[in-house]
Protein backbone atom coordinates (compact mmCIF):
# COMPACT_ATOMS: atom_id res chain seq x y z
CA UNK A 1 0.00 0.00 0.00
CA UNK A 2 1.28 3.43 -0.92
CA UNK A 3 2.23 5.72 1.93
CA UNK A 4 0.41 8.67 0.46
CA UNK A 5 1.54 12.25 0.18
CA UNK A 6 -0.55 13.23 3.17
CA UNK A 7 0.09 10.17 5.32
CA UNK A 8 2.22 10.08 8.42
CA UNK A 9 5.25 8.66 6.64
CA UNK A 10 5.28 10.99 3.68
CA UNK A 11 7.83 13.55 2.69
CA UNK A 12 5.09 16.18 2.20
CA UNK A 13 2.14 17.01 4.41
CA UNK A 14 3.58 15.81 7.68
CA UNK A 15 3.37 18.19 10.63
CA UNK A 16 6.05 16.44 12.64
CA UNK A 17 8.88 18.24 10.88
CA UNK A 18 11.25 17.77 8.01
CA UNK A 19 11.90 14.34 6.61
CA UNK A 20 14.39 13.35 4.03
CA UNK A 21 13.12 13.35 0.46
CA UNK A 22 12.46 10.01 -1.24
CA UNK A 23 15.68 8.59 -2.57
CA UNK A 24 15.14 4.90 -3.23
CA UNK A 25 13.53 3.64 -6.41
CA UNK A 26 10.73 2.15 -4.27
CA UNK A 27 10.04 5.60 -2.77
CA UNK A 28 10.08 7.23 -6.19
CA UNK A 29 7.72 4.56 -7.58
CA UNK A 30 5.34 5.10 -4.63
CA UNK A 31 5.27 8.84 -5.18
CA UNK A 32 4.73 8.32 -8.91
CA UNK A 33 1.73 6.11 -8.12
CA UNK A 34 0.44 8.70 -5.66
CA UNK A 35 0.76 11.48 -8.23
CA UNK A 36 -1.07 9.35 -10.82
CA UNK A 37 -3.89 8.68 -8.32
CA UNK A 38 -4.13 12.39 -7.48
CA UNK A 39 -4.18 13.27 -11.19
CA UNK A 40 -7.07 10.84 -11.70
CA UNK A 41 -8.89 12.38 -8.74
CA UNK A 42 -8.38 15.93 -10.05
CA UNK A 43 -9.69 14.89 -13.48
CA UNK A 44 -12.76 13.35 -11.83
CA UNK A 45 -13.37 16.50 -9.75
CA UNK A 46 -12.94 18.60 -12.90
CA UNK A 47 -15.61 16.53 -14.63
CA UNK A 48 -17.93 16.87 -11.62
CA UNK A 49 -17.43 20.67 -11.63
CA UNK A 50 -18.23 20.75 -15.34
CA UNK A 51 -21.38 18.69 -14.75
CA UNK A 52 -22.50 20.97 -11.91
CA UNK A 53 -21.83 24.06 -14.02
CA UNK A 54 -23.86 22.50 -16.87
CA UNK A 55 -26.77 21.99 -14.46
CA UNK A 56 -26.55 25.62 -13.34
CA UNK A 57 -26.40 26.92 -16.92
CA UNK A 58 -29.50 24.89 -17.77
CA UNK A 59 -31.21 26.56 -14.82
CA UNK A 60 -30.41 29.93 -16.41
CA UNK A 61 -27.28 30.96 -14.51
CA UNK A 62 -24.67 32.96 -16.43
CA UNK A 63 -20.89 33.07 -16.57
CA UNK A 64 -21.08 36.59 -15.11
CA UNK A 65 -22.82 35.16 -12.03
CA UNK A 66 -20.17 32.44 -11.76
CA UNK A 67 -17.36 35.02 -11.97
CA UNK A 68 -19.11 37.17 -9.35
CA UNK A 69 -19.40 34.25 -6.92
CA UNK A 70 -15.81 33.14 -7.56
CA UNK A 71 -14.63 36.69 -6.85
CA UNK A 72 -16.70 36.81 -3.65
CA UNK A 73 -15.32 33.46 -2.45
CA UNK A 74 -11.77 34.49 -3.33
CA UNK A 75 -12.16 37.71 -1.33
CA UNK A 76 -13.57 35.76 1.64
CA UNK A 77 -10.71 33.25 1.48
CA UNK A 78 -8.14 36.04 1.44
CA UNK A 79 -9.85 37.67 4.44
CA UNK A 80 -9.81 34.34 6.32
CA UNK A 81 -6.13 33.82 5.56
CA UNK A 82 -5.35 37.34 6.73
CA UNK A 83 -7.41 36.81 9.91
CA UNK A 84 -5.53 33.57 10.55
CA UNK A 85 -2.22 35.41 10.13
CA UNK A 86 -3.49 37.96 12.67
CA UNK A 87 -4.43 35.16 15.10
CA UNK A 88 -8.17 35.66 14.60
CA UNK A 89 -9.31 32.19 13.60
CA UNK A 90 -13.12 31.81 13.42
CA UNK A 91 -12.72 28.04 13.20
CA UNK A 92 -11.34 27.98 16.74
CA UNK A 93 -14.63 29.28 18.16
CA UNK A 94 -16.90 26.48 19.40
CA UNK A 95 -19.94 25.79 17.24
CA UNK A 96 -23.26 26.01 19.08
CA UNK A 97 -26.05 23.48 18.67
CA UNK A 98 -28.72 25.27 16.59
CA UNK A 99 -31.43 23.60 18.70
CA UNK A 100 -30.29 23.93 22.34
CA UNK A 101 -27.42 26.46 21.85
CA UNK A 102 -24.93 24.46 23.91
CA UNK A 103 -21.32 24.46 22.63
CA UNK A 104 -20.67 21.29 20.66
CA UNK A 105 -17.68 19.04 20.91
CA UNK A 106 -15.45 19.25 17.85
CA UNK A 107 -15.39 15.76 16.31
CA UNK A 108 -14.34 16.81 12.77
CA UNK A 109 -17.06 14.60 11.33
CA UNK A 110 -19.36 15.89 8.61
CA UNK A 111 -22.57 14.77 10.28
CA UNK A 112 -22.75 14.95 14.05
CA UNK A 113 -25.37 14.67 16.78
CA UNK A 114 -25.67 16.99 19.78
CA UNK A 115 -25.01 14.94 22.91
CA UNK A 116 -27.45 17.12 24.91
CA UNK A 117 -30.59 17.24 22.75
CA UNK A 118 -29.84 14.74 19.94
CA UNK A 119 -30.21 17.35 17.19
CA UNK A 120 -28.38 16.23 14.04
CA UNK A 121 -25.88 18.78 12.71
CA UNK A 122 -24.33 18.74 9.25
CA UNK A 123 -21.05 20.64 9.30
CA UNK A 124 -19.76 22.81 6.49
CA UNK A 125 -18.00 20.30 4.22
CA UNK A 126 -15.54 22.97 3.03
CA UNK A 127 -14.00 23.66 6.46
ZN1 LIG B 1 -28.44 20.43 21.17
CA of 107 to the centre of ligand 1 (A): 15
Contact by Cβ (8 Å): 120, 111: yes
Q: What is the mean pLDDT of residues 47-66?
A: 96
pLDDT at 113: 86
CA of 51 to the centre of ligand 1 (A): 37
CA of 127 to the centre of ligand 1 (A): 21
The closest of 10, 27, 28 to 19, measured between CA atoms, is 10
* Burial of residue 59, with CB atoms counted within 10 A of its CB: 0-12 exposed, 13-18 middle, 19 or more buried: exposed
CA of 100 to the centre of ligand 1 (A): 4
| Predicted confidence band of residue 20 (pLDDT cuts 50, 70, 90) | low
Contact by Cβ (8 Å): 31, 22: yes
CA of 103 to the centre of ligand 1 (A): 8
Q: What is the largest CA-CA distance in the chain?
A: 56
**Full-prediction pTM beyond 0.75?**
no
* Burial of residue 102, with CB atoms counted within 10 A of its CB: 0-12 exposed, 13-18 middle, 19 or more buried: middle
CA of 104 to the centre of ligand 1 (A): 8
CA of 106 to the centre of ligand 1 (A): 13
| Predicted confidence band of residue 71 (pLDDT cuts 50, 70, 90) | very high
Amino acid sequence: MARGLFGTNSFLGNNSGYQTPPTSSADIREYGEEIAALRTKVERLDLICEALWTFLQREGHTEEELVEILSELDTNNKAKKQAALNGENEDDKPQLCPNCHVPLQNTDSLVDRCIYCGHEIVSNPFK
